[in-house]
Structures are given as C-alpha cells and as structure tokens.
Amino acid sequence: MKKSKRLSRYERYRRQEASEERRVSTPELIARQEEAFRPARFLGYNHNTLGVYLIERGAYRIAESEFRRAMWLNPYEPVFVANLAWCLFRQKRDEEAHDSLDQAMEQGPDNPQVRKIARLMGVSIERAIPQDEDETE
C-alpha cells in the first residue's frame, strides 16, 4: 500500500498554478497567492508563551528575544507586540515600549490583553486608540 504524501499549502498552490497556466493576474489569482503566503495562525504562540514565562522569572532580555521571534513568525498578532511592550517597559526602555504599545493598539484596539497591558503601563486607553480625524473635530 502506498503512503500518500501531504503537500504543503505552497506546493499545492504551485501545482495548481502550473496546471492552470494563467499569466494574467485576476482578483481570484491574487487572493490565492495571498492565502498561500500568509503565515499560519498558530505560528509564534509557543515563543510568546515562553516569553511570558521568562518575564515572570525576570529574564527580560531572553523574553524580548522570544517576543521578537514570535512577531517575526506572525506579524499580525497584536498580543505579541503588546507583550514585547510590557517586556521593554519592565527594562525601563519606556520610549521603545510606548512605540510597541502604539503599534499593538493600532493592530488590535479591542483586544482585551492589549488593553490590560496598556493599563499596567499606565497609558490612557483613549489616548492609545487611534481615532479618525473626523471623530476628533
């Protein structure tokens, strides 16, 4: 009995593209390309969890490295950026911490974990949430 070989998303995408022989970029083709190259949703969580553990133990430099690795693997997760902000804040690197927190608030203004870290850092949540220009006038 033969074992079936599982193909990665990228390999499936490349085979499908080769079989269709399309040279024109259509919206459907662009959507498939974006899906093929999008990071998986579960990437980075192990590094984030390890970083939180290391913060609890006071190993801030190593924790910072783990949060940056998690962000590299999955740049769309605002919790990773907020945890990095908390780590930098604990290292007394306030300017970098506030920049990271602002980035996290832009990515996920309604995320409860991001809001909790903002409160722990003493940042006004209303100040941290980016507002449209129409709303401020």
- Residues with Cβ < 8 Å from 112, sequence gap 6 or more? none
Residue type, 125: I
Phi, psi of 6 (to 5 degrees): -80, 135
Instruction: Write out the chain's pLDDT in tens, 137 residues.
Output: 555 567 777 777 777 766 555 555 678 877 777 777 766 767 889 999 999 999 999 999 999 999 999 999 888 899 999 999 999 999 999 999 999 999 999 999 999 999 999 999 998 766 545 555 444 44
Distances (CA, A) of 76 to 1, 22, 46, 102, 134: 42, 30, 15, 14, 26
pTM more than 0.85: no
What is the residue extent of each domain of the chain? 7-38, 45-132
Match 């996290």 to its residue by tokens.
Answer: 104
Fold of 45-132: 1.25.40
Q: What is the Cβ-side half-sphere exposure of residue 109, based on CA atoms within 13 angstroms?
A: 9
Q: What is the pLDDT, as a whole number, of residue 36?
A: 73
